[in-house]
Structure 1
């Protein structure tokens, strides 16, 4: 085998290696991101048309009275400007009323402890009167579309979901970058490759320049 043939063979081997490597990471990232990508694409549509999608919030209320021993703990926590309600109070709220405050920080005042309890697809709050122990809880649920929209935005979803969004975004970047490199490697045999890529770049730029002021 002469030198040009050796160089050509080495070039083909490198190309085959990179094609195999890029295809592997492309399908792995696409498989891992598939379901989440469909979720984010669908909720992108619902968020874009939020004004046209009617919401029918369901509001529920609960009332009760905190036992005096637990109320004393709340008052001590207020005096100490504690970051959460006492553990015994949180446990009682879960067991007796099904209210999970999830170590949410209360807003203290001389008259009451107020906890905002936001959640995906809804909202809630809890108020405890410090003189009598009377408590009031309200839960607002806006439906499954609002729930999925909040997952898209990472609104009140907690740190675990936020980490998932970061990992999902990294997976999407791997999917896109490997796809771009595969396009480059196949572009010589597919004449429409770069015009289509250019179209995908130029169209949103034109929309921004022409219609957004």
Structure 2
């Protein structure tokens, strides 16, 4: 074979698989973008649907309000439990825990877990707020008579889902979930943008649509919000 032909064939040979490039990225990074994109989308799937739907319900909260259901119950502490409560000094503050006997009685009588909850002491009363997603509640105990008043308010499933969206009274575990979900959404969006760049040459509408996604919100914020 002619040496010149051999040289030309070598020049025309495609680059090695690991060095092949698309859109300025090596094949390794292209594979990474696809992997991160589908994995982050899998993590975000349920959360994104939840947050998108509750974004609509929050935006129209005034139109879809429901009548809250309020339940009130009364009771009286047994003498031994009341004696435990009376033993707490009048100067008790928020750092003074609710006596275990009182917590056990509330749990058995009303299904209230008072241990570890924020509470307020006064000379006359122990007050325990019971906020939760989609509702609210409180229990007040008269320190002298042992009279207990418990009230629970349920605002319905839509309010529950809206509170999940806002992270209202949802606890540490859900707060961590929101943070992890937000990071996954950022990865999903950024890898999606990089994949758009890879395919932009074959899809001419890519960057005009991306630009519209930036310009439309800015236009609304600058000219129409106020």
Equivalent residue number for residue 62 of structure 2: 51
TM-score (norm 2): 0.87
Equivalent residue number for residue 3 of structure 2: none
Asked if the contact 1:119–1:157 (Cα under 8 Å) also holds between the matched residues in 2, the reply is yes
CA gap 1:12/1:77 in 2 versus in 1, 3 angstroms: same
Asked if the contact 2:18–2:28 (Cα under 8 Å) also holds between the matched residues in 1, the reply is no
CA gap 1:4/1:115 in 2 versus in 1, 3 angstroms: same
CA shift, 1:3, in A, is 8.9
Q: Output the aligned Cα RMSD.
A: 2.1
CA distance in structure 2 between the aligned counterparts of 1:143 and 1:199, rounded to whole angstroms? 38
Asked if the contact 1:56–1:142 (Cα under 8 Å) also holds between the matched residues in 2, the reply is yes
Q: Give CA deviations for 1:131-161 in whole Å, capped at 9, x if unaligned.
A: 1000000000000000000000000001110
CA distance in structure 2 between the aligned counterparts of 1:78 and 1:30, rounded to whole angstroms? 55
CA gap 1:27/1:5 in 2 versus in 1, 3 angstroms: closer
TM-score (norm 1): 0.92
Q: In the alignment, does 2:172 pair up with 1:141? A: no
Please state whether the residue corresponding to 1:139 is helix, strand or coil: strand
| Greater helix content | 1
Counterpart pick for 1:10 among 6, 10, 19: 19
Equivalent residue number for residue 106 of structure 1: 119
Superposed counterparts of 1:26-45, under 5 Å: 26-45=37-56
CA distance in structure 2 between the aligned counterparts of 1:177 and 1:31, rounded to whole angstroms? 15
Equivalent residue number for residue 62 of structure 1: 73
CA shift, 1:87, in A, is 1.9
Relative to structure 2, which stretch is displaced further, 160-169 or 100-109?
100-109
Asked if the contact 2:72–2:151 (Cα under 8 Å) also holds between the matched residues in 1, the reply is yes
- Structure 1: 5+ residue runs without aligned partners? none
CA gap 1:73/1:151 in 2 versus in 1, 3 angstroms: same
Aligned length: 213
Please state whether the residue corresponding to 1:180 is helix, strand or coil: helix
Please state whether the residue corresponding to 1:2 is helix, strand or coil: helix
CA gap 1:194/1:113 in 2 versus in 1, 3 angstroms: same
Larger Rg: 2
CA gap 1:20/1:6 in 2 versus in 1, 3 angstroms: closer
Asked if the contact 1:112–1:130 (Cα under 8 Å) also holds between the matched residues in 2, the reply is yes
Please state whether the residue corresponding to 1:124 is helix, strand or coil: strand
- Structure 2: 5+ residue runs without aligned partners? 1-9
CA shift, 1:12, in A, is 3.0
CA distance in structure 2 between the aligned counterparts of 1:138 and 1:93, rounded to whole angstroms? 13
Equivalent residue number for residue 139 of structure 2: 126
CA distance in structure 2 between the aligned counterparts of 1:64 and 1:35, rounded to whole angstroms? 42
Equivalent residue number for residue 103 of structure 2: 90
